[in-house]
A = this chain, B = another copy of it.
């Protein structure tokens, strides 16, 4: 056994989260794509079957009350809240991330213009996952703003009294770089603008501290580190003191103060509920609720510590197993700048990833030349990390 394999064994033996792995359905594959689609929590199949057969099949419409369907968006939002550092009553679940980015950004521009101010710029991370940029362009067009795409590092320099809203990703989907949420949020606030954070690649992998850092609005998906299942609903955070001024561009009947009053005039519900839109997709939503059970007794701080240990160890193994010059890490070395993934630039990355998958190591390929490996601390072991790097070394060598 190699020295690194021995090290892996010791790290796994000392891992306080090791037992959490039993809460998932896993196999012999080394699954390093939980940052794209989290693995299946073992509690989900039975719960979904009950939702389908009993709640839908037998109780039918009675389930809107009796099975808690109607209140699922806010109830599940409160389950996500502690994972992102939010007190209860500020998150609702529903719709896709893209739709939530739209709600948040148009809402942010309106919050930034309480008395008709002329703020007319939306600043967006130019290196972000593209949907955020596309939706930001649409939000700018519909609110009469100009879009300013810049890198996160350039953000402080372009902020001004013209800035209405700033949309940033907490962790870059491609490189895995973690941006400085506290200081960027403070810079946005210093010019009187409103911050919107996309937590897709950080929630469930590291502490976010939404309340602590005074974030205004945030969105995120639930199918990556939150393991909610393919296309499970996203969520919207609206800080408590902004809720009564939050003015959604998608005021569906679910966000009405009296949804079953069927009143012709719109009156927004109090609190986070005004982030709801239409009828919630119950099957996907209750699968997510069951998936969140894996977090019982798991502190986000322990997850972060293991995440950094996993990515540190992976980088060390890559250094050892991959011949010099064949891959180049795009992921920052400094812990305070690293999310829970490692991105390696590599020639023929698409083909290399195909061969890795054939050999039981699953990451993903991001155009044009990036191998992306996500490390979910709840179910990835150090032994798997060692094996992944070893197989990578053999694969790129020939």
B-binding residues in A (CB < 8 A)? 25, 27, 31, 33, 36-37, 39-40, 44-45, 48-49, 52-53, 55-58, 60-64, 69, 95-99, 102, 106, 126, 129-131, 133-135, 137-138, 142-143, 149, 174, 221, 223, 229-234, 248-254, 256, 260-264, 266, 277-285, 287, 357, 362, 364, 366-367
Nearest CB to that of A232 among chain B residues? B281
In the docked arrangement, what's the CA distance between A343 and B254, Å?
23
Please tell me if the beta carbons of B45 and A60 are within 8 angstroms of each other in the complex: no
A282 is contacted by which of B44, B58, B137, B230 (Cβ under 8 Å)? B230
Which of A37, A60, A279, A282 counts the most B-chain CB atoms under 10 A from its CB? A60
In the docked arrangement, what's the CA distance between A361 and B137, Å?
51
With A58-B27, A264-B149 already in contact, the answer to whether A98 and B367 are too (CB < 8 A) is no
Please tell me if the beta carbons of B60 and A134 are within 8 angstroms of each other in the complex: no
In the docked arrangement, what's the CA distance between A277 and B52, Å?
26
With A37-B60, A96-B252 already in contact, the answer to whether A280 and B231 are too (CB < 8 A) is yes
Per CB-CB distance, the 8 closest pairs between chain A and chain B, nearest first, are: A96-B278, A98-B252, A98-B278, A230-B282, A40-B57, A131-B253, A231-B281, A281-B284
Please tell me if the beta carbons of A134 and B256 are within 8 angstroms of each other in the complex: yes
A367 is contacted by which of B63, B130, B252, B262 (Cβ under 8 Å)? B262
Please tell me if the beta carbons of B129 and A281 are within 8 angstroms of each other in the complex: no
CB distance from A57 to the nearest CB of B (A): 4
Please tell me if the beta carbons of B264 and A133 are within 8 angstroms of each other in the complex: yes
In the docked arrangement, what's the CA distance between A230 and B251, Å?
20
A287: chain B residues within 8 A (beta carbon) = 52, 283
A95 is contacted by which of B44, B95, B126 (Cβ under 8 Å)? B95
Contacts A98-B278, A131-B254, A283-B283 known; 8 new A-B pairs at CB < 8 A: A37-B61, A48-B49, A99-B277, A99-B278, A133-B264, A137-B266, A223-B279, A283-B284
A251: chain B residues within 8 A (beta carbon) = 134-135, 137-138
Nearest CB to that of A97 among chain B residues? B278
A69: chain B residues within 8 A (beta carbon) = 230-231
A266 is contacted by which of B31, B48, B134 (Cβ under 8 Å)? B134
Nearest CB to that of A266 among chain B residues? B134
CB distance from A20 to the nearest CB of B (A): 17
A33 is contacted by which of B39, B60, B250, B264 (Cβ under 8 Å)? B60
A280: chain B residues within 8 A (beta carbon) = 231
Complex copy number for this chain:
2
A61 is contacted by which of B36, B131, B264 (Cβ under 8 Å)? B36
A95: chain B residues within 8 A (beta carbon) = 95-96, 99, 278
In the docked arrangement, what's the CA distance between A249 and B105, Å?
13
In the docked arrangement, what's the CA distance between A260 and B40, Å?
24
Nearest CB to that of A363 among chain B residues? B61
A229 is contacted by which of B126, B134, B266, B282 (Cβ under 8 Å)? B282
A126: chain B residues within 8 A (beta carbon) = 264
In the docked arrangement, what's the CA distance between A233 and B281, Å?
7
A234: chain B residues within 8 A (beta carbon) = 278
CB distance from A71 to the nearest CB of B (A): 13
Please tell me if the beta carbons of B130 and A256 are within 8 angstroms of each other in the complex: yes
A96 is contacted by which of B48, B61, B279 (Cβ under 8 Å)? B279
CB distance from A77 to the nearest CB of B (A): 16
A366 is contacted by which of B137, B262, B279 (Cβ under 8 Å)? B262
A142: chain B residues within 8 A (beta carbon) = 106, 142-143, 249
Nearest CB to that of A268 among chain B residues? B134
